[in-house]
Amino acid sequence: MTEVHLSGHLICGTEEEARIVSFHLPTHVELTRAEVGCLAFDVTPTIDPLVWVVAERFEDQHVFELHQQRVAGSDWGRATVGITRRYSIVGLSH
């Protein structure tokens, strides 16, 4: 079983996008941390009010893919779908 690690940045293009992130983020973090197989999940603001550092760890690829599916259908997923993400993911087989 190989852990999946995601790291990178969530980058808003406008202050309105940043407000959307700030509004939805607490629930997104709470729900993700409660997922079975989530080992770590942190989204941390940077000195730039439009940028957050993202660091995630999941038990394996299956758990990570379930997380991605849940997020796609969540309020967070719908509200932030157009916001830039620059992520590196390690531990996926495809």
Domain definitions of the chain by residue range: 4-90
Residue 87 CA to residue 94 CA, distance in Å, equals 16
Sheet holding 4-11, edge to edge: 38-45, 51-58, 4-11, 84-90
The dihedrals phi and psi of 91, each to the nearest 5 degrees, come to 110, 5
Secondary structure class of 4 (helix, strand, coil): strand
34 Cβ contact partners less than 8 Å away, ≥ 6 residues apart: none
Does 94 score more than 90 pLDDT? no
- Indicate whether 12 pLDDT > 80: yes
pLDDT tens digits, one per residue of 66-84 = 999 999 999 999 999 999 9
Tens of pLDDT, residues 27-70 = 999 999 999 999 999 999 999 999 999 999 999 999 999 999 99
Note the pTM of the prediction, 2 decimals: 0.93
Q: Using an 8 Å Cβ cutoff, are 29 and 67 in contact?
A: no
Q: Is the pLDDT of residue 89 over 90?
A: yes
Instruction: Specify the CATH number of the domain 4-90.
Output: 3.30.70.100
In the Cβ-directed half-sphere of 32, how many Cα atoms lie within 13 Å?
27
Find the Cα–Cα–Cα–Cα dihedral 53, 8, 62, 32, rounded to 10°.
10
